[in-house]
Structure 1
Amino acid sequence: MDSSTTANSFLKPPILDGMNYALWKTMMRYTIKSMDVRAWKIILTGWTPPKMLDQEGEYILKPEATWTVEETQSSSYNVKAINAIFSSVDMRIFGHIADCTVAKDAWKTLQEHCEETDSVRRTRLRFLNTKFENLRMDENETIADYDKRLKEIATEAFALGGSISSENMVNKVLRSLPRRFNGKIWALEKVKDT
């Protein structure tokens, strides 16, 4: 595997299944930006297919074959963004955006479908805080695996507008260590203090 293949594998967001929207949204934002910042700008500002006046003075869609270089370029940013969105949702979620031709519309539809109202978001943040506080390290779990579970909760909280500080994360790890580790840490601290 060459280095370009390895580098690109880190850009792939998880498949949106409706339950992981906060994580998906955060990763997708940077995935699209890494493809082309102008594609992300299309999601923010939108894109309108080029139009022209017909013989009756009405605006109609301009045939693609007659688009200018600028119109074609703008369209390509929209296509990059919408392709990234389409290819990162499961089939059930895809049904909600299948008829979208503008990346901003697909993004907004997913946001409305998957992101909750403020009151629901606050409830989810309270739930995540409770989940964080109640999370315990399993006897056979490594510290790295436990830390990964904590970071998943912190990432989801961040995506919902909350935060769990690094200090709280470290304290949580130290408080949650099974007795087999606590004794060793206590012994190390005692040696360090002398």
Structure 2
Amino acid sequence: MDTSLANAALHPPVLDGTNYNERACQHVISGWTPPKRIDEDGDNLIKPESDWTTEEVKVSNYNSKALNVIFSSVDMNMFSLITNCTSAKDAWEILQRHCESSESVRRTKLRMITSRFENLRMEEIETITDYDRRLRDIANEAFSLGDPISN
């Protein structure tokens, strides 16, 4: 067996700028529900997969891809929180609620990040690339806390 194929099965693909799927990401934002049909009594029932249209299958696959990325990106403790989710949006919202900090903790983290940014200096033995990486790490941390650092 080709080891590169075996490794690909164990790790989700790395975003390299050519494989971004905006429609899959859209399901984290808008959510997904299985296709439904109305029966003769007027009840709204979930359609059997064998009756799904091509478009319904495509949309389901986008949700599945987004959900797979989320499942593959969390540790076992987090995974246990979302293991029964069938919608990427539901999984994301559970993780978001679980991981969000209180406002005072967020402000403290932002103060620490701001201090690191203000004290950031390029070391003599450091390359521009290494310095840029440290700068971007700080900017990404600030952005994730809702306070982006402008260019």
Q: TM-score normalised by the shorter chain: which range applies?
A: 0.7 to 0.9
Q: CA RMSD in A?
A: 3.1
More helix by share: 1
Aligned to 1:88: 73
1:142 equivalent to 2:146? Answer: no
Aligned to 2:15: 11
Distance 2:53 2:140 in 1: 43
Aligned to 1:19: none
Aligned to 2:83: 98
Aligned to 2:53: 68
Matched position secondary structure for 1:44: helix
Distance 1:148 1:90 in 2: 25
Q: Which amino acid aligns with 1:142?
A: E
Matched position secondary structure for 2:139: helix
Deviating more after overlay: 157-166 vs 73-82 = 157-166
Q: Which amino acid aligns with 1:150?
A: L
1:113 equivalent to 2:117? Answer: no
- Aligned runs of 1:8-47 on 2, under 5 Å? 10-11=14-15, 34-47=19-32
Distance 1:63 1:87 in 2: 27
Matched position secondary structure for 1:116: coil
Shift of 1:159: 2.3
Deviating more after overlay: 36-45 vs 111-120 = 111-120
**TM-score, with structure 2 as normaliser:** 0.74
- 1:144-165 CA distance string (max 9 Å, x none): 4344223211211122222335
Deviating more after overlay: 152-161 vs 55-64 = 55-64
- 1:71-130 CA distance string (max 9 Å, x none): 112111111111111112222221121111001111111222223344432222112112
Distance 1:78 1:44 in 2: 11
Q: Which amino acid aligns with 2:76?
A: M
Any gaps of 5 or more consecutive residues in structure 2?
Answer: none
Matched position secondary structure for 2:101: coil
Matched position secondary structure for 2:37: strand
Matched position secondary structure for 2:135: helix
In the comparison of the two structures, how many residue pairs are matched?
141
Matched position secondary structure for 1:60: strand
Distance 1:50 1:148 in 2: 45
